[in-house]
Amino acid sequence: MPPQIRAGTLVLIGGACTATGDALGAFVKLAGSAEGGPIVVITSASQDVKGSAKHWEADLQTAQAGDAVFPIIETREDACNRATAKLVAKSRGIFLGGGNQIKLITMLSGTPVGDAIWDNYISGGVVCGTSAGAAALTELTLAGNEVDEDGNLVEQYIGPGLGLLTFKTIIDTHFSQRRRLYRLFVAIAGYPDIMGLGIDEDTAMVVRGEIGKVVGKGGVTFVDGRTVVYDNAEEVTKGRQLTLSSLRVGMIGTGYTFDLRQRELEAVLNKPLP
């Protein structure tokens, strides 16, 4: 059965977005033309929820985003607040900040606020995530498999996400800047039916239905494992290097559109036959 098409729009930002850049600007423009209450900014993914809220308040003011509210959601109890959920449901735009995507998903999944995000989106709302906020919006989310600040390798995690973006897609962020291509290769080798989208910093993929358009400073790398004929993904966890063959990889530049269902550039799909 093909993925169900949602009515809303997703703005998936690869992190480190500038207040006056095109990536954040895409969300501000979409939310500005939408109906409803204020933009709701959720910073639950951050280690410093209140400090992150102040940061985004300043950036959204610079971006001339209009009225915005910043509910402090630090616990699942906060995420069960009915008044906050009502605010989210009636908002003209929802923004999820960065931090730790697993923390964000754990905080919101199965709560009134989490359900309100879903209801807003399927009703035609605009939902934006940056960095961890973007990574959390897929059916499955990716984290780990890189060295932390103390020099220790964090074990790879692939688990349930918030589920707004379907098409068997996972998102990796800060992609070129943090050299995360290998991490995405490992993830896709272990789950070859999934497609990975690596989004650069200050760059967004704006998704309506099954079509995503890239805006901003960088690009989006897509990794499709369905063509792989050999991989040693199970052995990699034992300390061996990844080996695989026939992995399909492409890049989507600014201004180009990508069909998530077909996993191909629209420019290729629409190319006339010779």
Average pLDDT over residues 98-122: 97
Higher pLDDT, 3 or 8: 8
Burial string for 30-69 (b: 16+ CB within 10 Å, else e) reads bbeebebebbbbbbbbbeebeebbebbbebbeebebeebe
- 176 part of the active site: no
Please pick, among 57, 139, 174, 264, the residue that the annotation labels catalytic. Answer: 174
DSSP 24-71: HHHHHHHHHTS-SEEEEEE-TTSSSHHHHHHHHHHHHHHTT--SEE--
CATH architecture of 9-269: 3-Layer(aba) Sandwich (3.40)
Q: What pLDDT was estimated at residue 260?
A: 97
149 as an active site residue: the answer is no
Residue in the block written with tokens 């690869």 = 14
Banded pLDDT at 1 (limits 50, 70, 90): very low
Residue 131 annotated in active site: yes
User: Are the CB atoms for 148 and 123 separated by under 8 Å?
Assistant: no
Asked if residue 135 has pLDDT above 60, the reply is yes
d(CA 234, CA 190): 7
Asked if pLDDT for residue 272 goes beyond 80, the answer is no
Task: Give the pLDDT band of residue 2 (cuts 50, 70, 90).
Answer: very low
What are the boundaries of each domain within the chain?
9-269
Tokens 């180009």 belong to which residue?
Answer: 256
| Residue 155: pLDDT band with limits 50, 70, 90 | confident
Rounded mean pLDDT of 2-19? 86
Phi, psi of 238 (to 5 degrees): -95, 10
Lowest mean pLDDT among 32-41, 47-56, 202-211, 240-249: 240-249
Going by their DSSP bridges, the two strands 153-154 and 195-199 should be labelled as unpaired
Percent of the chain with pLDDT over 70: 94
Average pLDDT over residues 76-105: 98
Phi, psi of 48 (to 5 degrees): -120, 85
Per-residue pLDDT reduced to its tens digit, 48-81? 999 999 999 999 999 999 999 999 999 999 999 9
**Residue 4 pLDDT more than 70?**
no
Q: Which amino acid would we find at residue 49? A: V
Q: What is the pLDDT of residues 166-212, one digit of tens each?
A: 999 999 999 999 999 999 998 999 899 999 999 999 999 999 999 99
